[in-house]
């Protein structure tokens, strides 16, 4: 095991480098479902529509779309 920091919040953890801690991973999954559900209901929405309607930041939406 490697001692590293969460790539999202910086919390110290015993995992591989660049990994998310459990709390950030849960939030990542929740945010992913939020964006996916919104896009399923609004297939022609642009990125700013997603930002305004979900309450997520533009940076977070870009990260989710790029993964």
Q: Is residue 67 part of a domain?
A: yes
12's CB contacts (< 8 A; 6+ apart) are 3, 4, 5, 6
Q: What's the pLDDT tens digit per position in 39-60?
A: 999 999 999 999 999 999 999 9
Band of pLDDT at residue 3, cut at 50, 70 and 90 = confident
Distance set, CA 62 to CA 3, 5, 59 (Å): 28, 22, 5
Q: Provide the domain count of the chain.
A: 1
Q: Which domain holds residue 50?
A: 22-67
Predicted model pTM: 0.81
The residue behind tokens 């790029």 is 66
Q: Is residue 57 part of a domain?
A: yes
Q: What's the pLDDT tens digit per position in 20-43?
A: 888 999 999 999 999 999 999 999
């Amino acid at each position: 095991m490697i001692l590293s920091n969460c790539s999202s919040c910086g919390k110290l953890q015993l995992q591989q480098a660049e990994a998310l801690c459990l709390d950030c991973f849960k939030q990542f999954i929740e945010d992913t479902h939020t964006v996916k559900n919104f896009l399923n209901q609004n297939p022609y929405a642009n990125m700013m529509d997603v930002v305004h309607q979900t309450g997520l930041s533009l940076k977070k939406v870009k990260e989710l779309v790029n993964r």
